[in-house]
């Protein structure tokens, strides 16, 4: 017992003498595990979905409805957001090629001064897509909201999703979880040298998607009444 007490006392003295060292080790270990988890979620999403992405208009199978994911039209500097412009171009390309009959434009509608679905509708019509071939989802505040509402509100569970490749992968991952048969059509991406922040944020977005689906059970901010798409 005496030897055990001496050992315990020695251990306490050892820990007391190095509290900062052990604290820092714990912090580094925690961040290391978090980093591994984030990277793991990134590759989980990528590997599960990358074989269902299409960039060739001739190769993608035709479906009745495409889900066009929204983003801000203009940047703070006043220039048009290229992510927005390229998504519109991809949607128009699909429609004019006869690959889709209807476009569900889903995005945020935070105020009368910010309305992604209306911005998308105006651009689509200006490029030759008829108004009757467009439906608007004003409650697509997040990708998760847009995907779930596409099925639960607009009754579409066999769709083409239109966005940049990194975004399409996450949207397909969410679609898989909710039993939506989806493929992605890739809008042109923005070069990495022009925008490094968005691809980096995507790592955290994929981590959040896994948490939302498998741990938190996150649901859309709004659901509401069914809306019929005329196809």
Q: Which two tokens stand for residue 182?
A: 């989806």
What are the pLDDT digits (tens) for 56-114? 999 999 999 999 999 999 998 888 899 999 999 999 999 999 999 999 999 998 777 78
Tell me whether residue 27 is in a domain: no
Q: Can you tell me the distance from the alpha carbon of 139 to that of 145, in angstroms, rounded to the nearest whole number?
A: 7
In a domain, 30, yes or no: no
Query: CATH number, domain at 203?
Result: 3.40.50.620
* C-beta of residue 47 within 8 angstroms of C-beta of residue 141: no
Query: What is the Cα–Cα distance from 191 to 77, expressed in whole angstroms?
Result: 18
Domain that holds residue 204: 49-216
**Contact present, 202 and 210 (Cβ < 8 Å):** no
The closest alpha carbon to 210, from 39, 32, 30, belongs to 39
The pLDDT, as a whole number, for residue 4 is 59
Q: What is the pLDDT of residue 220?
A: 96
- At 2 the pLDDT is 57
207 domain residue, yes or no: yes
> What number of residues does the chain have?
231
Q: Does 39 fall in a domain?
A: no
pTM of the model: 0.86
- Any domain includes 195: yes
Residue ranges in the chain whose pLDDT is less than 70 = 1-28
Which pair of tokens denotes residue 164? 């940049």
What's the number of domains the chain is made of? 1
In a domain, 38, yes or no: no
Who's near 82: CB < 8 A, 6+ residues apart?
188, 190, 194
Question: In angstroms, how far is the first alpha carbon of the chain from the final one?
Answer: 82
Please name which of 51, 47, 50, 27 lies closest in space to residue 39, comparing C-alpha atoms.
47
Mind spelling out the 3-state secondary structure of the chain?
CHHHHHHHHHHHHHHHHCHHHHHHHHHHHHHHHHHHHHHHHHHHHHHHHHHHEECCCCCCCCCCEEEEECCCCECCCCCECHHHHHHHHHHHHHHHCCCCCEEEEECCCCECCECHHHHHHHHHHHCCCCHHHEEEECCCCCHHHHHHHHHHCCCCCEEEEEECHHHHHHHHHHHHHCCCEEEEEECCCCCCCCCCHHHHHHHHHHHHHHHHHHHHCCCCCCCCCCCCCCC
- The whole-number pLDDT of residue 26 equals 65
- Asked whether residue 203 is assigned to any structural domain, the reply reads yes
């Amino acid at each position: 017992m005496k030897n055990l007490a001496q050992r315990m006392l020695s251990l306490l003295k050892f820990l007391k003498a190095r509290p900062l060292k052990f604290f820092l080790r714990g912090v580094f270990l925690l961040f290391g595990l978090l980093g591994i988890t984030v990277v793991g979620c990134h590759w989980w999403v990528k590997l599960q979905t990358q074989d269902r992405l299409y960039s060739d208009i001739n190769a993608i199978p035709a479906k009745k409805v495409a889900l066009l994911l929204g983003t801000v039209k203009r940047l703070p500097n006043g220039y048009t957001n290229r992510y927005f412009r390229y998504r519109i171009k991809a949607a128009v390309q699909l429609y004019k090629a006869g690959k889709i009959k209807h476009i569900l434009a889903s995005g945020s509608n935070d105020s009368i001064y910010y309305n992604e679905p209306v911005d998308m509708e105006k651009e689509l019509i200006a490029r030759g897509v008829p108004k009757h071939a467009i439906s608007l989802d004003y409650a697509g505040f997040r990708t998760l909201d847009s995907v779930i509402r596409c099925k639960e509100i607009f009754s579409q569970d066999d769709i083409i999703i239109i966005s940049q490749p990194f975004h399409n992968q996450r949207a397909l991952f969410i679609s898989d979880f909710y039993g939506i048969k989806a493929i992605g059509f890739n809008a042109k991406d923005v070069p990495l040298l022009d925008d490094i922040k968005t691809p980096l944020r995507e790592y955290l977005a994929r981590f959040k998607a896994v948490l939302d689906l498998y741990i938190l059970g996150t649901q859309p901010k709004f659901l509401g009444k069914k809306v019929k798409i005329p196809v």
